[in-house]
Amino acid sequence: MDYQATQNRLSLTRRLRRWVNGLGRRHRCCICGKHFHRFSKFQGGWDAVSPYLKELKWTGSDFDHFWCPFCRSHDRERHMMLFMEKLGYWESFSGAAVLHLAPEKWIIQKIESLQPAQYVKGDLFPSREGVVKIDATDIPFPDGTFDWVLCNHVLEHVPDDARAMRELFRVLKKGGRAILQTPVAYRLETTRENEPDVLSDPEKRLATYGQEDHVRLYGMDFFERLKTAGFSVTTRTHAELLPDIDPLRYGVNGDEELILCTKN
Ligand SMILES: [Zn+2]
């Protein structure tokens, strides 16, 4: 079979699977509001995650309930939406200055609807319209520019994360807030990084750092690192903030905490 025929067949299988997942009412997406039978898995789902990471209580995405079959939102966007809604934070985006790095599609739409005074969307490798090239370790804005900084699932990819944290802190206004979600291994005390044998072997890297392009596995010292950069750090749990939201039904990871950083 030639390449195009293989692609067509793959896409037909994918469309069929998405259609089947879209039937029923077992799950609900908080972004598009649709009910359906099943969220799509991320790659092989949680079963494919290494025993090592499971043992360390590695917590980030919900690999088994990842994509919505209708709007293609992913679990972390949905969780963020629910957390922010519950805390009443979205209102404060109206008229605010916002920096959003590695911006998520549905969060962009939400923020734009709130009419911030300044909304900068940046990525090291921008691919979406309206997103500009920004390196988190060298943010081209003066000190104290932004009321809000959103930078989710970026720091685990950045070789000099201490410098990125200092930059994120620097551009935040006094009293401003930053959301810096990242996967953390809750049973690992000290972050694993700078291991040439892991970094040079894609399989080892996936099993140890969780993804082929992660440069580290954060342990519990992640929170200390944020504090060293100047942030005050609070974590809020799903159970505490969203007791009425069944994580399974809504396709979010009930163990994922909101990591809220402020500049006091
Ligand atoms: Zn959806």
Distance CA 224, CA 115 (A): 34
Mean model confidence pLDDT for the chain: 94
- Could you tell me the distance, in angstroms and rounded to a whole number, from the CA of residue 161 to the centre of ligand 1? 32
* Stretch among 58-62, 137-141, 185-189, 191-195 having the lowest mean pLDDT: 58-62
Average pLDDT over residues 205-211: 96
- Could you tell me the distance, in angstroms and rounded to a whole number, from the CA of residue 132 to the centre of ligand 1? 26
pLDDT band (50, 70, 90) for residue 92: very high
- Could you tell me the distance, in angstroms and rounded to a whole number, from the CA of residue 184 to the centre of ligand 1? 26
- Could you tell me the distance, in angstroms and rounded to a whole number, from the CA of residue 106 to the centre of ligand 1? 10
Tokens of 92: 């404060």
pLDDT of residue 3: 57
Distance CA 245, CA 254 (A): 9
Is residue 27 situated within a structural domain? no
- Could you tell me the distance, in angstroms and rounded to a whole number, from the CA of residue 83 to the centre of ligand 1? 17
Q: Is the pTM of this model over 0.85?
A: yes
- Could you tell me the distance, in angstroms and rounded to a whole number, from the CA of residue 74 to the centre of ligand 1? 8
Distance CA 161, CA 221 (A): 13
- Could you tell me the distance, in angstroms and rounded to a whole number, from the CA of residue 173 to the centre of ligand 1? 33
Query: Which protein residues have their CB within 5 A of the ion that is ligand 1?
Result: 29, 31-32, 68, 70-71, 73
Identify which has the larger pLDDT, 137 or 2. 137
- Could you tell me the distance, in angstroms and rounded to a whole number, from the CA of residue 35 to the centre of ligand 1? 8
Percent of the chain with pLDDT over 70: 95
Is residue 54 situated within a structural domain? yes
Is residue 30 situated within a structural domain? no
For residue 181, give the CATH number of its domain.
Answer: 3.40.50.150
Is residue 37 situated within a structural domain? no
Is residue 197 situated within a structural domain? yes
**Cβ atoms 32, 68 nearer than 8 A:** yes
For the chain, what's the residue count?
Answer: 264
Is residue 29 situated within a structural domain? no
Range of the domain at 193: 44-65+74-262
- Could you tell me the distance, in angstroms and rounded to a whole number, from the CA of residue 31 to the centre of ligand 1? 5
Tokens of 212: 């082929």
Average pLDDT over residues 32-40: 92
- Could you tell me the distance, in angstroms and rounded to a whole number, from the CA of residue 36 to the centre of ligand 1? 9
Phi and psi at residue 176, in whole multiples of 5°? -75, 165
Tokens of 160: 């000099």
Is residue 125 situated within a structural domain? yes
- Could you tell me the distance, in angstroms and rounded to a whole number, from the CA of residue 16 to the centre of ligand 1? 17
Sheet with strand 97-101: strands edge to edge: 132-133, 118-123, 97-101, 146-151, 172-179, 258-262, 232-236
Nearest to 150 by CA among 194, 186, 97, 199: 97
- Could you tell me the distance, in angstroms and rounded to a whole number, from the CA of residue 250 to the centre of ligand 1? 10
Count the domains in the chain.
Answer: 1
pLDDT of residue 1: 47
Is residue 188 situated within a structural domain? yes
